[in-house]
Amino acid sequence: MVSRLTQQLELAFWDFAIQAMAESRFVQKLLKTAYQVKQYPEKVLALVCASGLMAGAITGMGIFIITKF
């Protein structure tokens, strides 16, 4: 009984995952980036730096907008 339920859950998950991989541009770009990071670990530093820069810029703009308006 439990194994049948887990099989059904697994099939439902993979049905959703495969559909998302086939149709969603965001998921495709995410998978491509993850694959490149795995193949070229030196890109991890650049990705982390870019993410930090974006987070800082967005936070700064948010604080500016909140305090000025």
Q: What is the pLDDT of residue 57?
A: 94
Q: What is the pLDDT of residues 14-64, one digit of tens each?
A: 998 899 889 989 889 888 888 887 788 777 788 889 999 999 999 999 998
Domain positions in the chain are: 2-68
Does position 5 have pLDDT exceeding 90, yes or no? no
For 10, which DSSP code?
H
**pTM passes above 0.85:** no
Name the token pair of 40. Answer: 């070229």
- How confident is the model at residue 1, as a pLDDT? 63
Dihedral over alpha carbons 47, 49, 55, 59 (to 10 degrees): -170
DSSP secondary structure string, 11-40?
HHHHHHHHHHHHH-HHHHHHHHHHHHHHH-
